[in-house]
Amino acid sequence: MCLVIHGFTGTPWDVRPLGEALSRAGIAVHGPRLPGHGTTPAAMLDARAPDWLLACDDALARLPGRRVAVAGLSMGALLALVLAARHPGRVAGVAALAPAVRFRDRTLNSLRAVRAAVPLLEWLRPWVLKDATDLLDEGARAEAPVLRAWPSARLRDLWEIQDLAWGSAARVTCPVLVLVAAQDHVVDEAGAASLVRRLEKSPSVRYVRIEDSAHILPRDRNRELVAAEVTGFVERTLGPAAVR
């Protein structure tokens, strides 16, 4: 069984190709929609980090079988690491795709460093507009569902997940696959490299750089390679008994 988690302001659409590839390999999949995501900008007003964490904990608890693999994209990768640290006897492996450890945007990084100023930002600019998804594939980009705006207040929740995942990474004891996109315009690849060094208790860490893709790795130009990497990792991690 594999739990697949989408990212911040995303939807299960972003990671659906992973679920389909895993299903074709005979692995059961569950891909929940995080609270506040995938509907309207207003729905994000009352969705916070504890809600996303609880949703992931609940999803993991409901899955059958003794051991489960978890794959996540962007913030979903961070949530997957938190699950692995919290439930070491349950999570057999983590596939972290474009983990949102650090952003490329200098303004976001500066705001993170001075979090006390964020309430002022929320008052001056309560909404952050979004007009596209980070994909190189034009067809996928045209098809992608886009949340046109999200509350700037949710930055604090995103940073909370980053902090929690960073602390959790040092306690992860299962194998980890880290995939990064060479042309990612959202997260900094150096953050993923730092994460790999942080995974000191993991028995196996595989780091793969996907050259012809941007942030939404499961949907971009190298989606077949991404799906093959994740499927192979999950198969090796769970073993033949997990394949129906």
Read off the DSSP letter of residue 187. Answer: B
In CATH, 2-242 is 3.40.50.1820: yes
Helix %, strand %, coil % for the chain, to 5?
50, 15, 35
The answer for residues whose C-beta is within 8 angstroms of residue 123's C-beta and 6 or more apart is none
**The pLDDT of residue 150:** 93
User: Any idea which residue has 């679920």 for tokens?
Assistant: 19
**The pLDDT of residue 241:** 59
Distance CA 174, CA 85 (A): 9
One-letter amino acid at 161 equals: I
**The pLDDT of residue 234:** 97
pTM here is: 0.95
Q: Render each residue's pLDDT in the chain as its tens digit; 244 residues.
A: 999 999 999 999 999 999 999 999 999 999 999 999 999 999 999 999 999 999 999 999 999 988 999 999 999 999 999 999 999 999 999 999 999 999 998 777 777 766 666 677 777 788 989 888 999 999 999 999 999 999 998 999 999 999 999 999 999 999 999 999 999 999 999 999 999 999 999 999 999 999 999 999 999 999 999 999 999 999 999 987 555 5
Domain boundaries, the chain: 2-242
Q: In what order do the strands lie in the sheet with 91-97?
A: 29-30, 2-5, 68-73, 91-97, 176-181, 205-210
Strands 127-129 and 149-151: antiparallel
**The pLDDT of residue 52:** 98
